Amino acid sequence: MNDYIYWLLLLVPLFFGLGWLAARIDIRQLLHESRRLPRSYFRGLNFLLNEQPDEAVEAFQEALKADGQTVELHFALGSLFRRRGETGRAIRIHTDLTKREDLSQDLRLQGLFELGLDYQKAGFLDRSEECFNKLMHTSMQDEAMQCLLNIYQLEKDWKKAINLARTMNSLDAGRYIAEYYCELADNELMHSRFGQSRNYISLALKENKKCVRANLLEGDLAMQQGNAENAIIAWKRIEQQDPVYLSLVAQRLFDAYCKLNNQQAGNNLLRGYLERYPSLDLLEVVYKMVLESEGVDGAYRLVRNELQRIPTLLGLEKMLVARMAVIPPESRADIDLVLSIVRSYTSRFARYRCGHCGFKARQFYWCCPACSRWETYSPKKSEEFEFSLDSANR
């Protein structure tokens, strides 16, 4: 035991000294490499950090004149040109990098990847795809596969996207594949090819049993075939998958019950959904339904109760509209003024928002048009979504 402690006491200073020596060598190497770079290169980096891309481009171009062989300068300048939309200049820089014989294999692969991004930004998707395909079975395969998937989505080549997604090591692959099958099903449904649409819907649910969109499409398919009962069954399954999406099928459900001449059953179902899963879109449908069946007084009570439960400007607007119908004409001027002010604000809130990039839109998207992420839109409007977050954080 004493020998062990003795040797340990000898080795600890030795390892410490080796670590200190390695650090010194690394620092010297870093200083040596940094001295090789022109001062304008560091000015360019500083401009980048201060979000001044135009000044950064000028600085990097000046640095290239001083040292045209510095690879870091080419990569930095090429990326800047691409960000500025000068894809032609970015393509030339990255093409030259891929042809340089003095570069290591890793740097040439990086240049090819950047070239693929340039072509994609320029809209030359076939050339971009060619670049990324050349990166298969290399150290940059994962990055290339993600870019290829984005290209297939842009081209709406869903079958290629499905085949590629199956080879990717991603926990979300099944969810993405289900959405691709839904895109195929939706396209077949638009062309009234019901058999093929049903097949794609089944494949989507096989990939992801919780795919809400697949059940939504299954209900749409049943309605187009004139089978309202099966449509209702499909849409009601969404409650077990994710009840927050029930607002997307609320109007569909009511229309299906109307087709079966069973409005009361539809009324009871949707009011039950509203009670359990409050939603402004769901309230909109139930409000119209109650206005038709119970009149103005019933509709007013409905929105007043919902406003007490979930205080939102969109809910207040709905209550004021209902109130306008039950008060004397001589008293409407003041409420009409308040209503116009509220509407000036609610027009900004009546939007859906992507949970990944924050992009807002008046319509709901399964795939965000800004960041191309799937299922990042909440079916709740912006104000309602923010209210739910505030409530959860209290």
What Cα–Cα distance (Å) separates residue 158 from each residue in 30, 173, 371? 47, 13, 18
Residue in the block written with tokens 């960041």:
371
The CA radius of gyration of the chain, in Å to the nearest whole number, is: 30
Taking residues 193-220, report their average pLDDT: 96
> Packing angle between helix 141-155 and helix 105-122, nearest 10 degrees?
10
**Mean pLDDT, to the nearest integer, of 76-101?**
84
Q: Which two tokens stand for residue 300?
A: 């007013």
**Opening angle at CA 79, ends 77 and 80, nearest 5:** 65
Place 132 in a pLDDT band, splitting at 50, 70 and 90.
very high
Q: Which residue has the tokens 């030359």?
A: 124
Using an 8 Å Cβ cutoff, are 200 and 185 in contact?
A: yes
Among 352, 359, 389, residue whose Cα is nearest residue 373: 359
pLDDT value at position 323?
Answer: 75
pLDDT at residue number 272: 94
pLDDT at 54 over 50: yes
For residue 375, count other CB atoms closer than 10 A to its CB: 21
Residues 322-332 have a mean pLDDT of 74
Which of 19-33, 34-48, 174-188 comes out lowest in average pLDDT? 19-33
The 8-class DSSP code of residue 242 comes to -
Least confident of 31-35, 146-150, 163-167, 254-258: 31-35
pLDDT grade for 172, boundaries at 50, 70 and 90: confident
Q: With a cut of 80, say whether residue 377 has pLDDT above it.
A: yes
Q: Rounded CA gap, 116 and 382, in Å? A: 36
Confidence (pLDDT) at 110: 92
CB distance 256 to 231 below 8 Å: yes
Q: Who has greater pLDDT, 345 or 294?
A: 294
Give buried/exposed letters for 323-343 (b at 16+ CB in 10 A, else e): bbeeeeeeeeeeeeeebeebe
What is the H or E stretch that residue 312 is in? none
97-101, 194-198, 388-392: least confident range? 388-392
The winner for highest mean pLDDT among 47-56, 250-259, 331-340, 348-357 is: 250-259
pLDDT at residue 7 greater than cutoff 60: no
- The pLDDT assigned to 102 comes to 77
pLDDT in tens, 261-312: 999 999 999 999 999 998 888 888 998 888 888 888 888 888 888 888 877 7
Beta bridge partners of 374: 367
In this predicted structure, what is the pLDDT of residue 251?
Answer: 94
CA end-to-end span of the chain: 58
* Type of residue numbered 349: F
Q: Looking at the predicted structure, is the pLDDT value of residue 246 above 80?
A: yes
Top-ranked range on mean pLDDT: pick from 36-45, 142-151, 300-309? 142-151
Amino acid letter, residue 66: A
Mean pLDDT of 124-140: 94
Q: What is residue 56's predicted lDDT score, i.e. its pLDDT?
A: 57
Tell me whether residue 363 is exposed, middle or buried, using C-beta atoms within 10 angstroms of its C-beta: 0 to 12, 13 to 18, 19 or more.
exposed
The lowest-confidence range among 56-65, 157-166, 232-241 is: 56-65
Computed over every residue of the chain, the mean pLDDT equals 80
- Three-state SS string over 110-142 comes to HHHHHHHHHHHHHCCHHHHHHHHHHCCCCCCHH
- Beta-carbon contacts of 13 under 8 Å, excluding residues fewer than 6 positions away, are none
Question: Residue 354 pairs with which residues in a beta bridge?
Answer: 377
61, 310, 382 from 394: Cα distances, Å: 52, 15, 19
